[in-house]
Amino acid sequence: MALMDAEKMAQLREKLLERKRKLWREVKGQIKTGLGESYQDLLATARDEEDQAQVNLLEETQFSLIEPKRQELVAIEEALQRLENGTYGECEGCGKLIEPRRLEIMPETALCRDCQSQKEKIAKASSR
Ligand SMILES: [Zn+2]
């Protein structure tokens, strides 16, 4: 099934790649500012368990800050894969076509609105 013409696909691909580059810059920036010199200093002075706990805490905080971006990067990568495979625009949950407006706003999404809200409900319930 041809969902879109080649020109549109090329545009979409560029859009996803651009987003990916931007996210990487942000992630790198965050790591640099967050885990910068103070982290290096801390690492150098971390001798006992208490110090080590501080280092771990700092790392966890940084990773949790980056986590949403990391997930988005994975989603973008998968969207690029789907473009290659010609399955882009199909919902991974129910197989229906994702709303074009939704793809416009979130080109990396793999789920239609219904499946997404379903997934969020499950995520919410399991995080309790
Ligand atoms: Zn769906």
List the domain boundaries for the chain: 1-88, 90-128
Long-range contacts: 104-107, Cβ < 8 Å, 24+? 107/12, 107/15, 107/16, 107/19, 107/79
Residue 110's identity, in one-letter code, is A
Q: How far is the CA of 41 from the centre of ligand 1 (A)?
A: 49
Q: How far is the CA of 58 from the centre of ligand 1 (A)?
A: 38
Helix axes 37-45, 49-85, angle to 10 degrees: 130
Min mean pLDDT across 40-54, 62-76, 79-93 is at 40-54
More confident residue, 73 or 2: 73
Q: How far is the CA of 101 from the centre of ligand 1 (A)?
A: 15
2 has a pLDDT exceeding 60? no
CB 111 within 8 Å of CB 92:
yes
pLDDT, average across residues 98-119 = 94
Q: How far is the CA of 92 from the centre of ligand 1 (A)?
A: 6
Q: Which two tokens stand for residue 107?
A: 């080109």
The helix (H) or strand (E) run that includes residue 104 is helix 100-105
User: Per the confidence metrics, is the pTM higher than 0.85?
Assistant: no
Q: How confident is the model at residue 3 (pLDDT cuts 50, 70, 90)?
A: low
**CB-CB neighbours of 52 under 10 Å:** 13
CA–CA separation, 118 and 59 (whole Å): 32
pLDDT for the residue 84: 92
